[in-house]
Structure 1
Amino acid sequence: FFNHTLSRWLCNEQKQRALRTVRFDVEALKMKAACAVGAKSCIKMSKIAEGAHNKIYHLEFDNGKEAIARIPCPVIGRSCISQVIASEVATMNFFRSKLKMKVPRVFAWSRTNEDRGSVGTDYIIMEKIDGVPLEQRNHSLTEEHLDVALISDLIDVELLFKTISFSQIGSIYYKEDVETPSLTRAHKPISTSPGIEDDAYSERFRIGPVLDRLFWHGGRDALSANRGPFSDFLSYLIALAQLERAWWKRHGPKYFENHPGPGSTKMALEIFDQIIATAPYLVPKNPEFHEIVFWHTDLHAANIMISSSGPGRITGIIDWQNLSTGIYFTKACLASAMIYRGDLVQSEPLFMPALLPPNYDELSPERQKDAQAQLWLGRRLKRYELQVYNLDPLRLRAILPTQQRLIQSLLGQIPLASQFGGLITLREHVINIWRYWSDIAEESPCPIHFGEDDLERHAEE
């Protein structure tokens, strides 16, 4: 009930399990939940899911109502858990109230120290969304060709994200949670969109420090760092690189003692110095890419709730944790729920058409059926991409050109640098920036350089 049962670890298992174990006062949580939904008591509470960062419980009450309790695990970062919960609640309420998105209604959460103390943990008690996760109906939708509505609904959700321009890069909070004398950057109105800067939503909400996990994971929460809010992408990128440099300077020697393999503390510091040196040139040239937007960047098939039968209409979008605003260039993406790579049919985003395998006629009837199902999933991706092309062509322009891919690959690898071999991969991305410098800033000399010896050593490592 309290412990992590999803994964096992080959080393440091006790430590890893402790980071994902949360003990709390079950009866106190049930009482708060019952009060929040207008019931006298909670008659049943069961754990229904657990992920890398949270545990999910289903609650049933004596008045027939149901709710979901979301309990964060210490692995999120002990010093920022309360911020994460406060921001997740504010984010859900902002998009539910301002844009009328199908987002769970929040009944109660650990807003005060008293709330946390009485239960023994942070928590969110929220509405149980009708329907089932898309992942449960993915294949049945394809067999019955019932996913046309799904694509249309998903595009509608994504287009809503483009309707509001935000004032800064950071996470969404309630005004009272971040508007303090020590955080003057959070005093700005939440949006720059006409008509929003003075409305009730701008009065209730603010942009505060960014809660993307890459700023807080693996002990980074214990480091003093600039976490925003940021006025532009350059400030954001330099702050991220400086945080990583500080982490490697403090933890690098011990890291390499426990993780024998390629790389060194010296290499890590050099890589992040190179990223900082090139950062001013990595800002996208297209001014349309500079608009600060919010995007749900974790739209995989478990986070999209759809109707349990019939056409796959979206009934809700869940898991708004650790999300933030950012420039359109870094946020706009294709929903991962639409991307499909099967063992028989490959369908890479943007380029590769979905085709049956060359040996289709030689497959068994059962495998041919699998191939047909995979073909439909692959073609669904193409139909989704066509809708994006027709309704949001800027998104594809943010993904395709060489400069964009180089920068996005670099950003994507930074949080993976502390994995085995991650520094080598990150250095490869930095080398690619040097190699393709003419595509990034042809009018300026590249501030970094790699000689033949450097490249040979890199290839060996």
Structure 2
Amino acid sequence: MIRYTVAGSSRRSALGVSRRVGTIKYITTITTTPKRFISSKPNEVFTKLTNDNDPKRDAFFKYTWGSWLKNDKQQKEKRFTKFSIEGLNRILNDVYIQSNEMAKAPDGKILPPVFNKNLTVSLVNNVIPKNIGKINPNEKVQVTTLSSIHEGKHHRIYKVDTNLNKAFILRIPYPLENENALSYRIRSEVATMDFADLKLGIKVPKIFCYGVNSLNPIRQPFVLQQFIEGDLLMKDWDPLMEDGSSNQEKFDNVIKQVSDFQSKLISLKLNAFGSIYFNNDFKDGHDKEFVRENIYDGETNPDLQNRWKIGPSVERCLWRHKSHLDFQKQMEPLLGPWSKKSPMDIIKNTGLLEAENAKTRLAKKEAGSSPELVCSRTLEEQVTTYENLAKIAPDLFNVKTKAIPNMQELLSPRLFHPDLDPMNIIVNKEAQEAYLLDFEGACAKPFILQNSPQFIAYDGPKIYDLKEDITDYDKLSEAEKAQYQFMYKRTRNQHQWEKKLNDNNPQLITAVAPPVKLLRSPYIAAVERKTEEEYLLIDESLLQLKEVWDIFAQNDLVNQKKFPLTYSKEDIERHVEDLQKLHEKLISTPFAATQGWIPQDMFDQLLKSGSIVKQENGDYTVKQPEPTK
């Protein structure tokens, strides 16, 4: 029997085994702090352990960390992560058996991944008794507590306690994309973490086993990995700290920790652009000559030779919202890998893929075979924008220029981590070691195309000294001073990040020079686009480049003397009008930045106070304040 409880809209869930044979206890409690333990004991209900289809159990797998103003029910259904607990037990027992076998392996030997008959893959090099734990002879591994500790953007994280006296992490991706996307994403992330661990010396959680589809015993794509006890580095990050405050040491340490991770990630030049996979992941296809080569030069350890290879890029922008495309015909040819001799092909293919996606969506919408909510004009404009990005890609950078120091270093393939962030780093207090947790979407691309991490990035007005840069600063109102102080602190934070980059990697510092940032800005806008209308930000970057193109051409920064794109006066006027409407929408639409998602605690408070109101169709609207007379 399983004993479980569900307490309303939970922010924390757990499942634990009682002393009765074959019983597991689900516990669901409400808490808003990111702690890794249960803070209270709610009521309990019993159900059979072997009955994976018991509907009472479903509440444990439901998404609970937020609600959406529109399509809330559908959004939560997309994030339902039901899996087989019995299957998880079988996987843990298989891993334990492999750990006993690994105890007999020669010390120091790095073994290749094992592809198991149950359609999982084990990283047997990590599956050692030290990491897995030990139980009494003839005893079987048993889950003792299963806790839902994080419901993120792309996956749900469960903490698994066992009678091995060891805890594990079970990551279940949300089924937001098709099986191909999930399969490539998981295979590449696991291989990249393996590469970061064994080759780059980066502290990452050890991965023990994974499955790329629902045909394994867990019945979901999954990653089973080491649990790291500690606090997120974000706990020490105060971006609006006053200069010289008591938090200065913590502030400096956060910058240092994240920068040190970046320095290790980019320390090794690779031989192609794309994403990292295990060598035996691709038995067919991807037979380009540069892919058959070693992914980096100079490896002397025979155990690491031919362990990894570069395959299609899993950068999120290339896979996001591509369910309308035929994978083999429309997507795969544009996903890479790309030769290190053709770095700008990454930008070109990004544009071509997005243009193809918009064309396909538009055709299906016009044929009445798609429930597209976005208007046809937006899709038409997206096609034009992305075709322009693809067209300008070969000319954005003069790859042979001498005007940018160390250009060839900046163009070399280096590992890029899209979530280099204090929220993605956990510090183990006992060992005083920082671990980089989530490598989803990591890829190899030129450092000149790698933007600053989101927690530090700032593209607003730069203010380095409030009194020197702002005329009559002391005479401003408190509200005006606060605005300038915000700009100053954001400028300071980015400056500190770039200073640390220069300390660690001076040969790459010109990647943050203003002209270089402007040249890559259309590509960065495409990579970071979140909404349908944000194609306008790509257009804005292209138009800004148009204004300075002649100067860049004179300084040998770009390939063409003449700006490669043509904009009519009407095009520019329409763009200005559309961009203004977008800014007005963002300002006037509550929670536009999160696409209508609201943290559950806040949502409950707003609903209770009447600030948001449920409509007959199930959507919610934000009640506008009464106009003042």
Do the two structures share a fold, i.e. TM-score over 0.5? yes
Structure 2 counterpart of 1:353, one-letter code: Y
Structure 1: segments with no counterpart, 5+ residues:
340-346
Cα shift at 1:49: 0.2
Aligned length: 439
Matches within 5 A, 1:204-219: 204-219=307-322
Q: 1:314 to 1:145 in 2, by over 3 A?
A: farther
Three-state SS of the structure 2 residue aligned to 1:421 is helix
More deviation in 226-235 or 28-37? 28-37
Percent identity of equivalent pairs: 22
CA contact (8 A) 2:378 2:533 kept: no
Does the 8 Å contact 1:252/1:264 carry over to 2?
no
Instruction: Please name the residue that 1:54 is paired with.
Output: 155
Measured at CA, do residues 325 and 350 of structure 1 come closer, stay the same or move farther in structure 2, by a change above 3 Å?
A: farther
Alignment of 1:1-400 (within 5 A): 1-33=60-92, 35-36=94-95, 37-38=132-133, 40-110=141-211, 116-138=215-237, 143=246, 145-147=248-250, 148-178=252-282, 180-185=283-288, 187-193=291-297, 195-196=298-299, 199-220=302-323, 222-223=325-326, 224-225=330-331, 226=333, 227-231=335-339, 232-252=342-362, 254=365, 258-260=373-375, 263-285=377-399, 286-308=407-429, 314-331=433-450, 333-338=451-456, 351-353=462-464, 382-400=495-513
Relative to structure 1, is the Cα distance of residues 143 and 306 closer, same or farther in structure 2, using a 3 angstrom cutoff?
farther
Amino acid of the structure 2 residue aligned with 1:237: I
Structural RMSD (CA) = 3.6
Match of 1:344 in 2: none
Taking the aligned partners of 2:391 and 2:519, their CA distance within structure 1 comes to 14
Q: Which amino acid aligns with 1:412?
A: I
* DSSP-derived class of the 1:81 partner: helix
How far residue 377 of structure 1 moved from its aligned partner, in angstroms, is 9.4
SS in 1 for 2:61: coil
Q: 1:451 aligns with which of 568, 575, 583?
A: 568
Correspondent of 1:460 among 538, 562, 577 = 577
Deviation at 1:274, TM superposition (A): 2.0
- Residue type at the aligned position of 1:203: N
Q: Secondary structure at the match of 1:108?
A: strand
Which residue in the other structure is 2:622 paired with?
Answer: none
Change (3 A) 1:123 1:209: same
- In the aligned structure 2, how far is the partner of 1:249 from the partner of 1:387? 43
1:145-175 alpha-carbon deviations (Å, 9 max, x no partner): 4435444443332222232111111111000
Moved more, 40-49 or 139-148: 139-148
Per-residue deviation at 1:127? 1.0
Alpha carbons of structure 1 residues 264 and 303: separation in structure 2 relative to 1, 3 Å: closer
Higher helix share: 1
Q: SS of 2:83's equivalent?
A: coil
Distance 1:46 1:416 in 2: 32
Structure 2, unmatched stretches of 5+, are: 1-59, 96-131, 136-140, 400-406, 555-559, 579-629
Is the 1:76–1:213 contact (alpha carbons within 8 Å) kept by the matching residues of 2?
Answer: no
**Deviation at 1:63?**
2.4
Q: Take 1:216 and 1:259, find their aligned partners in 2: how far apart are those partners?
A: 19
Cα distance, 1:410–1:380 mapped onto 2, change above 3 Å: closer
- Deviation at residue 307 of structure 1 after TM alignment: 4.3
Q: Aligned pair in 2 of structure 1 residues 187, 390: CA closer, same or farther (>3 Å)?
A: closer
Deviations 1:383-441 (A, max 9, x none): 44332223323443112232x22343211222566724223322222222322222444
What SS is found at the alignment partner of 2:537? helix
Give the TM-score, by structure 2 length: 0.62
The alignment partner of 1:430 has SS state of helix
Task: Note the alpha carbon deviations across 1:154-208, whole angstroms, 9 max, x for none.
Answer: 3332222232111111111000102x23221374234343x13885424110011
- Once the two structures are overlaid, the 10-residue window that deviates more, 139-148 or 448-457, is 139-148
> TM-score scaled by structure 1?
0.83
Given that 2:207 and 2:223 are in contact with CA atoms closer than 8 Å, whether structure 1 keeps it comes out as yes
